[in-house]
A and B are shown apart, each in its own frame.
Chain A
Amino acid sequence: MSEFEPQIVAFFCNWCTFTAADLAGTSRLSYPPNLKIIRVMCTGMVDPKFVIKAFLHGADGVLIGGCWPGDCHYINGNLKARRRVANLTEVLKQYGIGEDRFWLRWIAASEGTMLQEVAKDMTEKLKQLGPSPLRNLGQIAV
């Protein structure tokens, strides 16, 4: 039986983290294929419903990656994202999705290695945790 491969939906901001992922790609830094990257313009545009949707439809983890505080291309979108993520984390806990499954990380455009590390860390962590408790729900819903 093959090992459990978690699915991570990653919302990356266009200016910093997505660029970092691109950099990791072009510098041939390998990161686990478990990351399903979705480009958004800013972490501030990540609606909580996207995260909930991802969990409901079988994601084992959600990673939001944006610019460091003070570095947002849109002034303060990342700070708004941080506030939203904090709220949403509390809500998700009620449904069995712990903090371990929902990450917010700041990764700047030049930090390709950091992206690699975060991707590896999260995949490892989720492998230990096993599939998301909501995964069944998603499968049944489909």
Chain B
Amino acid sequence: MAEKKPAGTVLVAGAGISGIKAAIELAESGYKVILTNDSPQIGGILAKLDYQFPTDHCGMCRMLPLVGREYASQYCMRKSLFHENIEIMPFTEITAIQGDAGNYKVDLLKKARCIDPAVCNEMGKCIDVCPVEVEDEFNLGLTKRKAVYQAVPHNTPKMLLIDKQACTRCGECLKVCPTNAINLDAEDEPETREVHAIILASGVKLYNIQEFEDAKSYAVSPDVVTSLAFERMLSGTGTYQGDVIRRPSDGRPAKNIAWIQCMGSRNRRQKREYCSSICCMFALKEAVLAKEKGGPEVDTTIFYMDMRTFGKGFQQYRDKAVNEHGVNLIRCRVQGVMLKPDGNLQMRYIDPDTNEFFLKDYDLVVMSTGQIPFETHKKWADLLNAPLDERGVLATEKSSKVKVADKPGLFLCGSLMGLTDISEAMVSGIAAAGEASKFLATLGVDKMQEEEIPEPPAQSRELPLVSVALCQCGEKPGAEGLDYELLSAELKRHPGVDAVHTITSICKAEGETELAGLLGKTKCNRLLIGACQPFMYRRKLKNEARKAGFNSSMVEIFDLFGIARRGMVESANGDWTLRAARDVKSDIEKLKYKPELKVSTLPINQSALVIGGGIGGMHAALSLADRGVPVHLVEKEAHLGGYLGNQLEHTVDGLAPMAMATAMKLRVFENKNITVHLNSEVEKSVGTLGCFETKLHSQETAENTYLRHGAVILATGGHEGATSEYGYGTSDAVLTQGELKKGLASGDLDLSEVENVVMIQCVGSRQPGGRPYCSRICCLGAIDNALKIKEKNHEARVFILYRDIMTYGFYEQYYSQARSAGIIFMNYSLDDKPEVEFVDGQPVVILTDPVLKEEMELNADLLVLSTGVDPEESNKRLAAAFGVSVAEDGFFAEADSKWRPIEFQKVGLYLAGTAHSPMPLRSVILQAEAAAQKAYTYLSGREVHTAAVTSTVKDALCIRCQRCVNICPYGARSYNEADKRIDIDAAECQACGMCAAECQNNAAEVRGWSDKQLMAVIDAKIMDSTLSSLGDGKSGLRQNV
């Protein structure tokens, strides 16, 4: 290369989950990322949450990259994030942004931590002596912390810091600090960085009950907590350390817990006319967890307005919470909480079923405090000198949720888009990264250049001879008292160990030279390095070793100080050097028998197959084609556009799908990278990431086409559900919402004579025997149609009979608008559904009035049914062809509903739009963009490196029983009929080792986790301790005999 272009750099402002996801995506595609965060920790709100539904556990680590995972040096996401290409700057504020797209200059202010993390040994002596106690914001004030503290209890490294506001400068910590890491006079440090693009991800604030007048009246006692505080009460690292939930006031176990929904949201008077979107599921999950922790005798009640279970799997979770866990749901707005003299919290409510008043005591009341979106938009607008729209928001381009309008190179994601849940935050992070990488591609900046160090041959056939290098860490005597001499002597005695060296500080430059010097003259063929936080240096040290002629798989790094620390905690009598030696020995044993690991490369066919020519499919195809990726776009109908693009003139939020589809069709046909296959369906597909081969069948010509491509995006969409309920099909006066919408748009429907229009929601949806899910868009569609009817004929009365109005997020404004327009909303329940009779051909709807509890009749001139969204029938055939699965409801089953919403378990396949679940158009486009980005990550290069640790099979031992094929959760193993052997797909294999455990003949094995290694480890763990505690063991034996 003649001139070296600068590596593309992106600043991600905000390290919540969406920011982290965007950073990981960009870093994985080879760009440099600077990830800043205002607060001292990363992880945002999710760092405080131990549990997410539907699994009711944490799954954050699933957002980490899968292929080439060794390079990411990753494990638990709750602890921290490490990536070669990501520079994390917590506790850093952005003070100014100058320049323009492609050339931003960002002024940062690194706030003073007062403790140098590079020097601190994390023993926390300073915490013990600090006399200042303040409320711990991580536990939302439920517990106290010192002025010297660790921001997140599970962070590694601990990253202690001093709260300058709280610190009294008494100097006690200075006296005890063994490493002089503390500097109370530390100042904030300004820094300037140049970046090419910026992704804003500053997240959201949750409504604080202390802050707002309307909620203060509820907070009558410390036992009224916010939902986030309740989350900390549940947490294993929280207030009660995972023990049963108790009342903050008197520590009594909480047996009666109530949740009050919509705190600080859906409140017009307070100008918060939106639904926070997440609280219903939040509360349901917390109620289920409270039951699980406290046992079935714990009584949980949720007081709600509408239970908004609109997302994928939400309704099913609600049904489970109510039917299996016995969570009570009461539709009632509780007006206040009273503190009784005995400390109980009394609430008065009306049972909506009987209209009776109840007074009930609760031990604990949880306020479901909503999200307050857009808090930080003002700040960004000021910094960027960009205009705000009437909502006070940085406007995005019309159909995109992530591209800031008129500001190329500037994107936003996560909660800055509005009100998002985890899965949408993930999708938006990916989409923003995608848009940013598209933008970087136009600038002509380079990707990070990797230093290619050739891999020396492994001498794995020679007798193992291990050299151990122990870091003494000049500045971090974390293992103070760790007797290096004793440890070295002990290790040297171990068979197979040739030499034990100590290195002053391995993470510093001198340490590196020292290590290189050692490696140069050693005759050993394996190297074990003991250092702190091995995941941070793994790659660097392995590269060092490679330069010195070591095969990198013959080098292992272990956490010496973790071992030392554990020993110190375990026993006070100081014999933990020996115990540490035992642990190190098992690491030696494991390394001794480690086979050579090879990273294999997979050739990539740099083209994609997009199935479904709807708006989602076209968007994904265009997004890839614009980046130069050849795309095959397959549509089973004779024309592109899908359901929305051919049927829907406009949506409630002002998009025009038909016009949009027409414009997209033009672009698709004009784009030379896109080949459109109309009237075609996929019949069969074989292959894996990088090399799929797919057979297309055309209905028109009855011919088969064979395509080769590297990735697949499934965007099959859906259609309006069919029904025969409520007399549909027997009378012209009964329509579906889709038919009404078309009639309204074309003007075919005469509304001048219409007096009463009755709409019934959830026809066949959210009920057993029907669609188990909420179709998400019908409430919006019904409200849109109702408003249109009112526009055309103001005299007409429109009734919407609903179960829960799903106007989540900012769609709430249309609900308010509809009610102001005089549209009458009437609630019905599943066990008391309305009935329809026909009198002289006109439908009469009979229902129970929700207020008076009396039967009433409505003569309808038009009866409109919201029949929901059905998945495409072809989903099942496609799933079979591609070897992925379809969920019970007929939509594709994604890899993980929260953390990997647009991926399949199988690598190389992605999904977008209604193929995933019913969703509004903007979300479809967001998912399509994200799916395209996911595919592009692999399609941008000619090859991908697979992980080195994958499973293997020893053909000589294999009896071809194929049990490993059946047990593999990723479908990475298959039986090759032709060669009569088991094939392993290295891209799919995640090295979980299930095949190895299943195999009867020890033929299946995970490289680096072989039986031989593990057996040796077990031996080392047991044998050594019997020797070192010989006396004990013997006496125990004698007693027994």
Q: Which residues of A contact B (CB under 8 A)?
A: 1-2, 4-5, 7, 9, 14-15, 19-20, 22-23, 25-33, 36, 38, 40-42, 44-50, 53-54, 57-59, 67-68, 70-71, 73-77, 80, 84, 108-114, 130-131, 135-136, 139, 142
Q: List 18 A-B contacts (CB under 8 A).
A: A1-B1035, A5-B1036, A19-B79, A25-B566, A26-B565, A40-B1009, A40-B1014, A41-B992, A41-B1006, A41-B1009, A42-B993, A45-B1009, A46-B997, A74-B969, A110-B58, A113-B241, A131-B1036, A136-B1041
Q: Which residue in B998, B1009, B1036 is a CB contact (below 8 Å) of A130?
A: B1036
B905 within 8 A of A: yes
Shortest CB–CB separation between residue A138 and chain B, in angstroms?
A: 8
CB of B58 within 8 A of CB of A109, answer yes
Complex-state Cα separation, A49 to B62, whole angstroms? 30
Among B16-24, B140-148, B497-505, B1020-1028, which stretch is in contact with chain A? Answer: B1020-1028
Which residues of the other chain, B, contact A54 by a CB distance below 8 angstroms? Answer: 1018, 1022
Which residues of the other chain, B, contact A80 by a CB distance below 8 angstroms? Answer: 967, 994, 997-998
Shortest CB–CB separation between residue B1038 and chain A, in angstroms?
A: 9
CB of B992 within 8 A of CB of A42, answer yes
CB of A71 within 8 A of CB of B57, answer yes
Q: Which residue in B567, B570, B1018, B1036 is a CB contact (below 8 Å) of A57?
A: B1018
Q: Which residues of B contact A (CB under 8 A)?
A: 50, 54-59, 61-62, 75-76, 78-79, 122, 124, 153-154, 156, 158, 235-237, 241-243, 562, 565-567, 569-571, 579, 586, 905, 967, 969-970, 990-994, 996-998, 1006, 1009, 1011, 1014-1015, 1017-1019, 1021-1023, 1025-1026, 1029, 1031-1033, 1035-1037, 1039-1041
A110 with B154, Cβ < 8 A, contacts A14-B75, A32-B570 known: yes
Complex-state Cα separation, A67 to B237, whole angstroms? 17
A77 with B992, Cβ < 8 A, contacts A9-B1018, A113-B242 known: yes
14 extra interchain contacts, Cβ-Cβ under 8 A, other than A48-B997, A114-B242? A9-B1021, A26-B122, A27-B237, A31-B570, A41-B992, A46-B997, A59-B1022, A73-B992, A108-B57, A108-B236, A110-B236, A111-B236, A130-B1039, A130-B1040
CB of B565 within 8 A of CB of A49, answer no
Complex-state Cα separation, A41 to B1006, whole angstroms? 10
Shortest CB–CB separation between residue A8 and chain B, in angstroms?
A: 10
CB of B994 within 8 A of CB of A57, answer no
B238 closest partner in A (C-beta) = A110
Complex-state Cα separation, A25 to B875, whole angstroms? 48
Shortest CB–CB separation between residue A115 and chain B, in angstroms?
A: 9
Q: Which residue in B586, B1035, B1037 is a CB contact (below 8 Å) of A38?
A: B586
Name the 3 nearest CB pairs between A and B, nearest first. A45-B993, A74-B992, A71-B57
CB of B997 within 8 A of CB of A47, answer yes
Complex-state Cα separation, A80 to B967, whole angstroms? 9
CB of A30 within 8 A of CB of B1040, answer no
CB of B565 within 8 A of CB of A131, answer no
Which residues of the other chain, A, contact B156 by a CB distance below 8 angstroms? Answer: 22, 26
A132 closest partner in B (C-beta) = B1040
B54 closest partner in A (C-beta) = A70
Complex-state Cα separation, A109 to B77, whole angstroms? 10
CB of A44 within 8 A of CB of B1037, answer no
A47 with B236, Cβ < 8 A, contacts A4-B1036, A70-B56, A114-B242 known: no
B586 closest partner in A (C-beta) = A38
Shortest CB–CB separation between residue A48 and chain B, in angstroms?
A: 8
Complex-state Cα separation, A87 to B786, whole angstroms? 61
CB of B1011 within 8 A of CB of A49, answer yes
Which residues of the other chain, A, contact B565 by a CB distance below 8 angstroms? Answer: 25-26
Shortest CB–CB separation between residue A23 and chain B, in angstroms?
A: 5
A30 with B1026, Cβ < 8 A, contacts A71-B55, A131-B1037 known: no
Complex-state Cα separation, A53 to B683, whole angstroms? 49
Q: Which residue in B57, B237, B242, B905 is a CB contact (below 8 Å) of A68?
A: B57
Q: Which residue in A48, A109, A113 is a CB contact (below 8 Å) of B76?
A: A109
CB of B236 within 8 A of CB of A114, answer yes
